Structure 1
Amino acid sequence: MAIHAVPKSQWETYFANLSKHLKASQAELEVAAMNLGDQLEAEWLPFYGVSYDPKDDIIEFTLQDVDHLVRRPQEVYVDDDVEGLHSIEVVDGDGVRHLAKLKEALKLPPPT
């Protein structure tokens, strides 16, 4: 597995392309903060997509019955390899980590 940062200038396009390739993916969503500890927001629900709205500076994870908003995102990391995408981690302006783990690696097309 290879974890790497996605530059902010690419978030909108990266997430739009990623969401196009979600078919039958499931995700677990975890939020980790010093004052809260690790909190499970969603456990293995159908994962519909993730998007970035630059106007409002919000990343939105969309799962079945869950819309999870990350306000003022500062960093985005993805864990991927030849098998596909394994997880997406977003760090917000308060240092809170929002982690979406995919049950099975999401197969992505080669970069263009």
Structure 2
Amino acid sequence: MTTPKPGSILLGTTQPAVLRDWYRKALAPEHTGEGPIDLGGFLLVIDQRDDVGSKTNEPGRVILNFHVDNFDEVEEQLQAAGVDWIAPAEDRPSGRFATFADPDGNYLQIIQFAERVSPASTHT
């Protein structure tokens, strides 16, 4: 049996230009063009939608996690981009975590797992 590998996520929004600019500034400053934003081999597709509100109602339902090797460097990049921090950096037994939100209120996290912990064996 084959296990499919996730390749992209679609974010439906009422403000695609704002969301695209925010994601570029915060997470992919080298990205240019109007197509999907490459987030380290995982594609982010931002689409104008009429069936969603301007803000998410349950931002904690789905959280997009970014596994990083240098937490401080990525945290500094996000600070410079002016992200809205939901939960500041916190050390946990499995690693270091911080949660922030995009302009639509969707939650995202940066995670630097402890060396002794495998991301496959950890639930956040």
Same fold? TM cut 0.5: no
Name the structure with the higher helix share.
Answer: 2
Higher relative contact order (CA 8 A, sep 6+): 1
Bigger strand fraction? 1
Computing the radius of gyration from Cα coordinates, the structure with the larger value is 2
- Normalised to the residue count of structure 2, the TM-score between the two structures is 0.28
Compute the TM-score of the two structures, normalised by the length of structure 1: 0.31
